Every structure is written in structure tokens, then in C-alpha cells.
């Protein structure tokens, strides 16, 4: 590097350092209250081993002595999760200026309570696995679903993140859900409430908002949005019910959008592909869009394909 290039770089450095002094949100230099993303991802991977012991085990952890294996794994996750929760709690006004001992005790209590909820998480996930196997004729085995299906992976991370969210842990649940979103294309906010036997088929492009309520035995396909009708109110809408309620035994096909906190899909209803809903649908209802007439031409003749030529609607 010659002197001219060196001087140019020094000038750029000084310019950017001066820009940091504007005291904007993006100028924050102290990151000691932000959880370590890589640590969170490592915790997620180890929690997958705890939740699915025969599927995600590491070669370091031998399966023949399950008590020793589980104790070692839990001790590892407990230590690291408790540390990250303690860091995250500083983002809560309640703990922002609290004594370190208070934050440490709170993070310990939260982490222990989270681990006590793992049997509940696994209970729900077993029903999700059953729903996926029963609902997908393409599945050859439940092992295939656990190891390969992005829908079950996204649901698993959601159920883990949801428990941390319900324990009022800042940031970490969103880190987890956004990691799953990045990996699967399925965006489930950890604040959503989802019942047992939840089945995501294919999954890419699904969005489930933070105040969504989903009952049991619900099946949704790729591209479905369960979202807010409007977010123009910004932060004034924080905590307000903005997303729909989906009752039991509802199927929502690909590309459908159900929006708004006052929208409710009644039990045993079917919502067809590309339907756009912003209001309540009564139970036992089938909703579909009337197909436009298709014109298919070849060298010999023209065929007009209408709904009457189709098989089962929806």
C-alpha cells in the first residue's frame, strides 16, 4: 500500500468515526446487552438433541448411557442459555438498571422453568408428527418427517421459542424463530398460540403473526398468510390482537390470506387457494374463488376448461 492509499483509507476511517457520533439508533457501540447469535444457534441445535434424542444426537454424546448423556447435555445448555437469558434481560426495563445478582437469579429461574416445560413441548411435537404423517401420503415414515420436513422443524423451533416468549425473555425467541425462518422459509412468530396436531404441508412462504391463535388439528399449505389487516398504527398497535383466530379442524390451502384480529375461521372449515379474507367465516364452511375460464389451444382444436369440468372443488 502506498502513502496515498494509506492517507485515503485514514480519511475514510475518520469520516465514518465522525458519523458514529450522531447518536442515532444505528450508532450504538455497546453491544454487551445483545445475546450472542452463534451461541443461540448452538443452544438450538442441542435442544433439538434433547427433544429428538435418537435423531439429532452428536457423536460426542453416546446413546448407550442416556442418563449420563442427558445430564451432560442439559448441564451444557443450562449454563449457556442462562448466560444468554441474563444478557437479554437487560433489554427489559424491569432489569435494565437492576443489580447483577437480581438478573442472575431471574435468568436462573427462567431457564429452570423452561426446562421443566420440555416434556410439554415434546407432547405437542409428538402430536404434530402424528398429524404430519397421517396427513401426508408422500411420507414414507415418521423418521423421514423428523429428519427432512421443514414444516416440523419450523414448528419445533416455534414451540421452543414460544415457551421462552411466554416467560418474557426478550430477543432470544425472535432469534430462534428467525433462524428457522431463514432455514425453512416459514415465518412463525413465537408469540402466536398454536394447539396440538398442527400440520404444515410444504411450508415455504408461510407467515403466522404474533397474535395469531390456532386451534387443534389445523393444516396449512405453502404461501399462507395469517397476518394483520393494517400496521399503519405502528407501535400504538403493540400487544393489540391484530391477527386472526383459526379454530379446530381447519384446512387452509396454498396462497390464502386471512388478515385481521377480528377475523375468525370457524371449526371444520376449508379455505381454498388464493382466497383473501378479512372477516369471520362460520363453522363447517368451504370458501373458494370461482375459477376463470381457461382457453387451451393446439393445432387441432380449442378446449374451454370451466369449473364444471373439474373434480373436487377447493
Q: Answer yes or no: is 27 within a domain.
A: no
146-152, long-range: CB < 8 A, 24+ apart:
146/52, 146/55, 147/55, 150/183, 150/184, 150/185, 150/186, 150/200, 150/203, 150/204, 151/184, 151/186, 151/199, 151/200, 151/201, 151/202, 151/203, 152/125, 152/128, 152/200
My answer on whether 284 and 143 are in the same domain is no
- Give me the phi and psi of 33, to 5 degrees please: -100, 10
Q: Answer yes or no: is 71 within a domain.
A: yes
My answer on whether 162 and 221 are in the same domain is no
My answer on whether 156 and 196 are in the same domain is no
My answer on whether 85 and 160 are in the same domain is yes
My answer on whether 258 and 119 are in the same domain is no
Q: Answer yes or no: is 59 within a domain.
A: yes
Q: Which residues pair with 83 in a beta bridge?
A: none
Whether the CA torsion 172, 175, 177, 179 is positive or negative: it is negative
By the 8 A CB rule, do 256 and 275 touch?
yes
My answer on whether 72 and 173 are in the same domain is yes
By the 8 A CB rule, do 211 and 261 touch?
yes
Collapsing DSSP to helix, strand or coil, 52 comes out as coil
By the 8 A CB rule, do 242 and 209 touch?
yes
Tell me how many domains the chain contains.
Answer: 2
Whether the CA torsion 163, 166, 167, 169 is positive or negative: it is positive
Domain boundary among the residues 137, 157, 186 is at 186
Collapsing DSSP to helix, strand or coil, 276 comes out as strand
Q: Answer yes or no: is 221 within a domain.
A: yes
My answer on whether 260 and 154 are in the same domain is no
Q: Between 172-184 and 37-51, two packed helices, what is the crossing angle to 10 degrees?
A: 80
Q: What is the pLDDT of residue 295?
A: 77
Q: What is the pLDDT of residue 312?
A: 47
Gap between the Cα atoms of 45 and 39, Å rounded: 10
Q: What is the pLDDT of residue 235?
A: 76
158-163, long-range: CB < 8 A, 24+ apart:
158/188, 158/190, 158/192, 158/194, 159/121, 159/124, 159/125, 159/194, 160/44, 160/47, 160/51, 160/121, 161/190, 162/190, 162/191, 162/192, 162/193, 162/194, 163/114, 163/117, 163/120, 163/121
My answer on whether 116 and 201 are in the same domain is no
Q: Answer yes or no: is 284 within a domain.
A: yes
Query: Can you give the pLDDT of all 314 residues of the chain as single tens digits?
Result: 788 888 899 999 899 989 998 988 888 776 667 899 999 999 999 999 999 988 876 655 555 677 878 888 999 999 999 999 999 999 999 998 899 999 999 999 999 999 999 999 999 999 999 999 999 999 999 999 999 999 999 999 999 999 999 999 999 999 999 999 999 999 999 999 999 999 999 999 999 999 999 999 999 999 999 999 876 677 777 778 999 999 999 999 999 999 999 999 999 999 999 999 999 999 999 999 987 777 777 776 666 665 555 444 44
**Residue 311 sits in a domain of what CATH number?**
2.160.10.10
By the 8 A CB rule, do 220 and 252 touch?
yes
Q: Which three cell numbers stand for residue 168?
A: 418474557
My answer on whether 54 and 144 are in the same domain is yes
Range of the domain at 86: 32-186
My answer on whether 258 and 287 are in the same domain is yes
Q: Which three cell numbers stand for residue 56?
A: 439429532
My answer on whether 116 and 166 are in the same domain is yes
Domain boundary among the residues 159, 186, 213 is at 186
Q: Answer yes or no: is 25 within a domain.
A: no
**Residue 102 sits in a domain of what CATH number?**
1.10.3130.10
Domain boundary among the residues 186, 203, 220 is at 186
- Give me the phi and psi of 134, to 5 degrees please: -70, -30
My answer on whether 181 and 196 are in the same domain is no
Gap between the Cα atoms of 269 and 285, Å rounded: 5
Q: What is the pLDDT of residue 302?
A: 65
Q: What is the pLDDT of residue 84?
A: 97
Q: What is the pLDDT of residue 29?
A: 72
Q: What is the pLDDT of residue 271?
A: 98
Amino acid at each position: 500500500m502506498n502513502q496515498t492509499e494509506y492517507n485515503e483509507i485514514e480519511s475514510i476511517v475518520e469520516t465514518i468515526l465522525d458519523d458514529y457520533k450522531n447518536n442515532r439508533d444505528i450508532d450504538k457501540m455497546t453491544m454487551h446487552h445483545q445475546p450472542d447469535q452463534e451461541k443461540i444457534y448452538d443452544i438450538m441445535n442441542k435442544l433439538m438433541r434433547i427433544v429428538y434424542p435418537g435423531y439429532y444426537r452428536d457423536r460426542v454424546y453416546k446413546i448407550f448411557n442416556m442418563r449420563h448423556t442427558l445430564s451432560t447435555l442439559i448441564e451444557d445448555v443450562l449454563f449457556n442459555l442462562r448466560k444468554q437469558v441474563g444478557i437479554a434481560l437487560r433489554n427489559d426495563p424491569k432489569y435494565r438498571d437492576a443489580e447483577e445478582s437480581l438478573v442472575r437469579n431471574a435468568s436462573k429461574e427462567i431457564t429452570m422453568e423452561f426446562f421443566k416445560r420440555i416434556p410439554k413441548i415434546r407432547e405437542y411435537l409428538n402430536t404434530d408428527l402424528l398429524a404430519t404423517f397421517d396427513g401426508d401420503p408422500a411420507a414414507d415414515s415418521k423418521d423421514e418427517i423428523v429428519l427432512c420436513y421443514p414444516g416440523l422443524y419450523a414448528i419445533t423451533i416455534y414451540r421452543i421459542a414460544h415457551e421462552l416468549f411466554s416467560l418474557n425473555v426478550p430477543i432470544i425467541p425472535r432469534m430462534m424463530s428467525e433462524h428457522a425462518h431463514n432455514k425453512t422459509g416459514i415465518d412463525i412468530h413465537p408469540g402466536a398460540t398454536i394447539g396440538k396436531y398442527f400440520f404444515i404441508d410444504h411450508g415455504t412462504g408461510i407467515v403466522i403473526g404474533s397474535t395469531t391463535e390456532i386451534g387443534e388439528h389445523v393444516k396449512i399449505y405453502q404461501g399462507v398468510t395469517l397476518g394483520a389487516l393494517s400496521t399503519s398504527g405502528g407501535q400504538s398497535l403493540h400487544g393489540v390482537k391484530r391477527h386472526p383466530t383459526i379454530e379446530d379442524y381447519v384446512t387452509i390451502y396454498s396462497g390464502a390470506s386471512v388478515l385481521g384480529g377480528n377475523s375468525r375461521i370457524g371449526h371444520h372449515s376449508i379455505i381454498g387457494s388464493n382466497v383473501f379474507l378479512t372477516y369471520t367465516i362460520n363453522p363447517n364452511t368451504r370458501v373458494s374463488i370461482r375459477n376463470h375460464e381457461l382457453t387451451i389451444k393446439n393445432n387441432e382444436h380449442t378446449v374451454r376448461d370451466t369449473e364444471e369440468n373439474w373434480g373436487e372443488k377447493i
